[in-house]
């Protein structure tokens, strides 16, 4: 009797030990991998790109499952959650996915305001977080997170690139040296806007430009007319704007009606990249607008990509038609590529290595596999390579090969115009056209 009890106790202890180890051998996990996909399906962020990111991620997961799953045998079980564009809801949903749904991987996250608190909480639980979208430096900077990885370019790249683009074309288009260019920077006051604006400011100072105004605002502000008034008083040549979605529409309307006129208008991602939505609000007046985001897969010259990669872009475009049958390829937001491509990196590169080399898909195995990721330039749909900053680096977990592209709306569609490595237009218009209601004449 006593020996039976001892045997039972040993079995129990063994079971607890296996359960607590967190390193489940692949064979014992069945043939499925559970991925929690957390985006904002409702609230202000949904139409600002979050929904398009989710669509991209879902299309890729469906595609991989149709091909037999990861390594041809591990099917992905996608568990969706809605952050509702509220940080507290996103955090609660992440907790639910990790601890109630017991997902193996948490992926997605659109808003940096959600990603900043969430990344630390998830990392402390030693769970694997794969950020497809949120860009703020603050998500990773000086936190030395061990289980959080972001293939997406970080906010500083956005802020630097837009200013470098202006400097690159200032003499040719503005007929001014960079030091004579008057720049105004406005931004939403969360980590996303604040981070991009800080990079705008630092780069503008480096280029010797004149910063005539830098100001933040809340995306919930019901009125931005005083900001427009100050911008008119500051008389900028270039307006650098980082916002989400409804605030962008409100600002542009009030700017148009209050007579704000600039030569170059550059938005930074989010609502500025949802060209179909901008067109619905402003029609053809959006011609000449800029946005900054990771390159859109469908705008990249297939010859610049590794063999076979461009075929996936066609797959993405084909599947996107199920969501938006009437949007031409040149108007599809880069957020679709972010969801699709960054999920592809996870399922095509990190997960297979974790299973084959590190014995499964525990957080430790996934983190080890991610640290070994080494995709060269041209190896992903969005053109960039992937190599994550190692532990101990100030930006540990950030893809150091990611790039941000400047887009301009030309002839009604988005075109890559900077940096030269992705530019599809050698000599973009840069300036707002004379017909634009926001154009300085």
Partner 1 sequence: MDPIFLVEAAINGILLGGVLAVLALGLNLIFGVLDIVWIAYVDLVMLAMYAFYFMVQGHGWSVWVAGPATLVVGALLGIAVHLLIISPILTSAPINQLLATGGLLFFLQSFATFLWTTDHRSVRLSLPSVEIGGIFLPFTRVIPFAISILAMLALYLFLRHTYIGTAIRAVSQDRDAMALMGANPQRVYVVTSAVGGAMAGLAATLLSFQYSVHPFFGGQFGPLTFMICVLGGLGNMVGAFVASFVMSEIIAIGGVMFSTEMGYVIAFVVFIVVMFARPGGILARRE
What does 36-54 look like in DSSP terms, one character per residue? Answer: EEEE--SSTTGGGTHHHHH
**Cβ nearer to partner 1, comparing 88 with 280:** 280
CB of 258 to partner 1, least distance (A): 5
CB of 435 to partner 1, least distance (A): 13
Strand order in the sheet with 210-217: 210-217, 182-188, 238-242, 264-267, 290-293, 405-410, 413-418
Structure tokens that stand for 51 in this block: 């929904």
Q: What is the DSSP letter of 178?
A: G
223 binds partner 1 (CB under 8 A): yes
Structure tokens that stand for 397 in this block: 């977990």
254 binds partner 1 (CB under 8 A): yes
Q: What is the DSSP letter of 74?
A: B
Q: What is the DSSP letter of 306?
A: P
Q: How far apart are CA 409 and CA 429, in angstroms?
A: 9
The region of 130-138, 209-217, 300-308, 387-395 touching partner 1 under the rule CB under 8 A is 209-217
299 binds partner 1 (CB under 8 A): no
- Partnered with residue 81 across adjacent β-strands are 38
CB of 45 to partner 1, least distance (A): 9
Among the listed residues 62, 215, 315, 372, the single contact to partner 1 using CB under 8 A:
215
CB of 253 to partner 1, least distance (A): 6
259 binds partner 1 (CB under 8 A): yes
CB of 124 to partner 1, least distance (A): 31
Q: Map residue 137 onto helix, strand or coil.
A: helix
Among the listed residues 16, 142, 206, 257, the single contact to partner 1 using CB under 8 A:
257
Q: How far apart are CA 150 and CA 240, in angstroms?
A: 25
Structure tokens that stand for 118 in this block: 């969430």
CB of 232 to partner 1, least distance (A): 7
Among the listed residues 24, 253, 353, 393, the single contact to partner 1 using CB under 8 A:
253
Give me the sign of the Cα torsion angle 340, 156, 402, 114.
Answer: negative
**Cβ nearer to partner 1, comparing 88 with 223:** 223
189 binds partner 1 (CB under 8 A): yes
381 neighbors 313 (Cβ within 8 angstroms): yes
272 binds partner 1 (CB under 8 A): no
92 binds partner 1 (CB under 8 A): no
CB of 144 to partner 1, least distance (A): 32
Among the listed residues 31, 218, 356, 435, the single contact to partner 1 using CB under 8 A:
218
Q: How far apart are CA 31 and CA 226, in angstroms?
A: 58
Q: Which of residues 50-79 bind partner 1 (CB under 8 A)?
A: 51
210 binds partner 1 (CB under 8 A): no
CB of 224 to partner 1, least distance (A): 7
Q: What share of the chain is helix, strand, coil (3-state, %, to 5)?
A: 45, 15, 35
Structure tokens that stand for 433 in this block: 């056209």
- Residue 303's Cβ-count burial label (10 Å; 0-12, 13-18, 19+) is exposed
The region of 230-238, 304-312, 372-380, 415-423 touching partner 1 under the rule CB under 8 A is 230-238
216 binds partner 1 (CB under 8 A): yes
The values of phi and psi at residue 189, to 5°, are -95, 15
The region of 4-12, 112-120, 158-166, 248-256 touching partner 1 under the rule CB under 8 A is 248-256
Q: How far apart are CA 85 and CA 73, in angstroms?
A: 35
Residues that bind partner 1 (CB under 8 A): 41-44, 46-47, 51, 85, 189, 215-218, 220-227, 229-230, 232-233, 245-246, 249-250, 253-254, 257-259, 277, 280-283
């Amino acid at each position: 009797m006593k020996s039976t009890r001892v045997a039972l106790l040993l079995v129990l202890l063994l079971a607890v030990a296996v359960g607590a180890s967190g390193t489940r051998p692949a064979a014992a996990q069945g043939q499925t991998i559970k991925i929690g996909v957390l985006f904002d399906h409702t609230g202000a962020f949904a139409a600002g790109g979050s929904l398009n990111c989710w669509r991209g991620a879902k299309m890729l997961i469906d595609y991989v499952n149709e091909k037999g799953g990861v390594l041809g045998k591990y099917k992905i079980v996608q568990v969706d959650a809605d952050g509702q564009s509220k940080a507290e809801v996103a955090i609660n949903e992440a907790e639910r996915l990790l601890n109630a749904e017991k997902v193996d991987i948490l992926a997605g996250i659109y808003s940096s305001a959600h990603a900043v608190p969430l990344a630390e909480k998830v990392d402390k639980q030693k769970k694997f977080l794969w950020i497809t979208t949120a860009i703020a430096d603050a998500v990773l900077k000086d936190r030395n997170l061990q289980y959080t990885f972001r293939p997406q370019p970080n906010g500083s790249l956005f802020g630097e690139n837009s200013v470098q683009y202006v400097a690159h074309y200032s003499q040719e288009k503005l007929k001014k040296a960079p030091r004579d260019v008057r720049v105004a920077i406005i931004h939403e006051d969360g980590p996303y806007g604040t981070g991009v604006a800080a990079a705008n400011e630092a780069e503008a100072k480096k280029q010797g430009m004149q910063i005539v105004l830098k100001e933040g605002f809340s995306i919930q502000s019901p009125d931005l007319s005083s900001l427009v008034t100050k911008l008119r008083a500051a008389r900028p040549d270039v307006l650098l704007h980082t916002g989400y979605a409804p605030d962008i529409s409100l600002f542009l309307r009030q700017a148009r009606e209050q007579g704000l006129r600039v030569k170059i208008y550059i938005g930074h991602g989010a609502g500025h990249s949802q060209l179909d939505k901008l067109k619905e609000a402003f029609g053809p007046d959006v011609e000449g607008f800029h946005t900054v985001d990771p390159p859109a897969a469908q705008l990249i010259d297939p010859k610049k990509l590794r063999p076979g990669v461009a075929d996936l872009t066609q797959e993405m475009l084909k599947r996107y038609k199920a969501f938006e049958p009437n949007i031409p390829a040149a108007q599809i937001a880069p957020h679709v590529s972010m969801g699709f491509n960054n999920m592809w990196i996870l399922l095509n590169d990190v997960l297979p290595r974790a299973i084959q080399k590190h014995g499964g898909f525990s957080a430790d195995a996934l983190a080890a596999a991610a640290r070994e990721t080494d995709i060269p330039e041209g190896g992903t749909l969005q053109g960039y390579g992937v190599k994550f900053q190692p532990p101990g680096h100030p930006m540990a977990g950030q893809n150091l090969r990611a790039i941000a592209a400047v887009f301009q709306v030309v002839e009604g569609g988005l075109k890559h115009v900077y940096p030269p490595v992705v530019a599809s237009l050698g000599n973009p218009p840069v300036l707002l056209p004379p017909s634009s209601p926001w154009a300085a004449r």
